[in-house]
Structure 1
Amino acid sequence: MSIKVGEDKIPYIDLGDGYIIRLEYEDLSDEKYIEKAKTELRESPENIEKGLHELRRLIEAEKDFTFPKEADVFLMTFLRPCKFYASSAFEKMQKYFKFKLKHKKVCENINVKSVSNVFTEDLIKYLPLRDINGRRILYLNCGKKWKPSRVTPNDIFRAVQLSLHAAMAEPMTQVNGVTVILDTDGLSISQICHFTPSYAAMVLDWLQNCIAVRLKAIYIVNNSYIFNMLYAVFKPFIGSKLRKRIHFLNKDWETLTSKVGEHALRKEFGGDLLVDDVDGKLLVEFLNLFHEQFELVAHAGYGVCDEETKKLIDKGVEEALTYISKA
């Protein structure tokens, strides 16, 4: 297992046996997903052009706001999930960056180094394959593996932000969305005491109102009555749309494989994926190769219009476009 660089000069993690973890920045090529983008997201050359033009105009008119508006790839991260309605995309953008301004403690200076403990503790992973619907699969372990003395709830939330930021620029993820598998095996009462109603409200506000990602399903596995106690803290803040996408499966691997696909799941979850789990330290090293893009997200937004910040944003755009143009 190691980090390699493809012929396209884009790095990836080689897991062995032909399996890799790679950020997929190339544009849509599969006719199935091109058609899906047309039918579900109103994607067309005309709507793309109109959406980009109108979103740039809205950004320019917003006071004290900095965003790389000349880079189409970053505008598309908001336009695609909002079906190319510029007003909806801009509203999402406003909520996203105002949340960041309001909750500085959990949103400022998010980079790979600052959340590396979450990955090295193996609490968050990308699975190498997409699910049967073409969705990126994010695995979170908040059970017995999680040691609150080493990783706080805020650390986990910051790492989730970074993990989804990395996927936001992928056209395949913009179109198909994200599937989350939340493993709560061994969750204890002492652990759930670290979660408060204010924390739950904050996380769910971000998840439901701010992030420009199509969160299509959350599968909660290995859950017990103790998890039900934790869910009771979060439940008052979960809207009807998200509630319909949360599935409590415990050990119902038959349902999980039918929704996600045996090909994408390890044997412990009923699948037939036999490749080794990605090493957390290696994942940190891999994500750090894209650190300029995370710096871009960290420095864009409201009240950050000094020249030094603009230079950092320009540097992030240049780095991101270097990778994306190679895809």
Structure 2
Amino acid sequence: MGDIDTWTFQEIAFRAEMDRHDDPESEKEAWILCGEDPATRMRNIVELRNMIYERGECHPHRMDDAFLLKFLRARRSVPARAHRLLVRYSNFRDQNPHLWRDVDWFGLTKLGHVFEGVLFDRPDVGRLIICRLGQWDPDDYPVEDLIRGCLLLLEIGIMQPKLQVLGGTALLDCEGLTMRHMRHFSPAIAIQAMNVMGFAFPLHQRGVHVINCSRVFETLFHFFKRLAPVDDLWKRVRFHGYDLSSLHKCIDPECLPKRYGGHRQEVSLEKWLTKIKQYKNKDFDNDMRTLGYAVD
């Protein structure tokens, strides 16, 4: 594929990031990946909404069908499980308003290549999201901005019905990570990161893969794990050390950037947000404003 073809494909993919329509052809994937049946979809939404009113455990900022469907899709279309997730999400928002409220979302382009993605979404991987912690300079911006950046990436991502169904796979690259970085990760920050990873976020999390990591990092990870809720997500965390062949057993190189022995071109958060701003519309602005972000 030539440079012009690659550029054209990326521009089409960037435009598609604003797509808010359910594709009828994706109903089979929704059934396989989310247990979603068009015949019972509306009934499940109504049941979830009734649970929210009857139990009174949370007060979501939205209650419309499209919003509630995100939580159902993230929990195999089971209203009770979706309700538990929605309670976690709502509590997380209430406890951490600074991660959303009046945040200049476009200002997070400063994170550069700390977060990257691959705009090649497959049913077995979903959207591949890469976090390169070693690219972060703690002197430039606080660790809270890392949480804000990851959260923003996910909030915008799940506006797409396609990604609500396909979900995502996380790749945590620890190359360049030192104690200079690690000393900023307090238990409170670690819990915030785990919540964003999937404990309290309506993302169909396909897996979390850690590469270029030492035993020290793995030990710290398991320490923080004890502070988090018991969840099936832990079964999908894999440590690969420095072994790319181990990573390839879990993620097809067809979906990976060349840096990891793959065939794809990664897109930095900086470039992605720049393109989002270029192609955004009134619906996007309204959604962002409702979430609490500053919208010009």
Q: Identify the TM-score tier after normalising by the shorter chain.
A: 0.7 to 0.9
Do 2:254 and 2:262's aligned partners in 1 also have CA atoms closer than 8 Å?
yes
- C-alpha distance in structure 2 between counterparts of 1:221 and 1:73, whole Å: 35
Compute the TM-score of the two structures, normalised by the length of structure 1.
0.74
Describe the superposition over 1:54-94 as per-residue Cα deviations: whole angstroms up to 9, x where unpaired.
23334555499354434x32221112222333343233222
- C-alpha distance in structure 1 between counterparts of 2:200 and 2:58, whole Å: 19
1:42-57 aligned within 5 A: 42-57=35-50
Q: Which residue of 2 aligns with 1:282?
A: 271
Alpha-carbon distance change, 232 to 65 in structure 1, aligned in 2, over 3 angstroms = closer
Correspondence for 1:227 among 217, 220, 233: 217
Q: Which residue of 1 aligns with 2:247?
A: 256
Q: Which residue of 2 aligns with 1:27?
A: 22
Identity of aligned residues (%): 20
Number of aligned residue pairs: give it.
280
1:123 counterpart = 2:114: yes
Do 1:112 and 1:291's aligned partners in 2 also have CA atoms closer than 8 Å?
no
Describe the superposition over 1:196-241 as per-residue Cα deviations: whole angstroms up to 9, x where unpaired.
1222233324544311111121111111245335425423235462
Q: Aligned to 2:119, what secondary structure does the other structure show? A: coil
Do 1:59 and 1:69's aligned partners in 2 also have CA atoms closer than 8 Å?
no
Q: Which residue of 1 aligns with 2:226?
A: 236
Do 2:207 and 2:237's aligned partners in 1 also have CA atoms closer than 8 Å?
yes
1:139-288 aligned within 5 A: 139-143=130-134, 145-228=135-218, 230-238=220-228, 239=230, 241-273=232-264, 275=265, 277-278=266-267, 280-288=269-277
Do 2:73 and 2:204's aligned partners in 1 also have CA atoms closer than 8 Å?
no
- C-alpha distance in structure 2 between counterparts of 1:49 and 1:240, whole Å: 27
**Bigger CA drift: 201-210 or 259-268?**
201-210
Q: Report the RMSD for the aligned CA atoms in angstroms.
A: 2.9
Q: Aligned to 2:83, what secondary structure does the other structure show? A: helix
Compute the TM-score of the two structures, normalised by the length of structure 2.
0.81
Do 1:218 and 1:245's aligned partners in 2 also have CA atoms closer than 8 Å?
yes
Do 1:197 and 1:233's aligned partners in 2 also have CA atoms closer than 8 Å?
no
Q: In structure 1, what residue type is equivalent to 2:240?
A: L
Do 2:58 and 2:90's aligned partners in 1 also have CA atoms closer than 8 Å?
no
Q: Which residue of 2 aligns with 1:298?
A: 292
Do 1:131 and 1:260's aligned partners in 2 also have CA atoms closer than 8 Å?
no
Q: Aligned to 2:172, what secondary structure does the other structure show? A: strand
1:53-68 aligned within 5 A: 53-59=46-52, 62=56, 65=59, 67-68=61-62
Correspondence for 2:89 among 75, 92, 96: 96
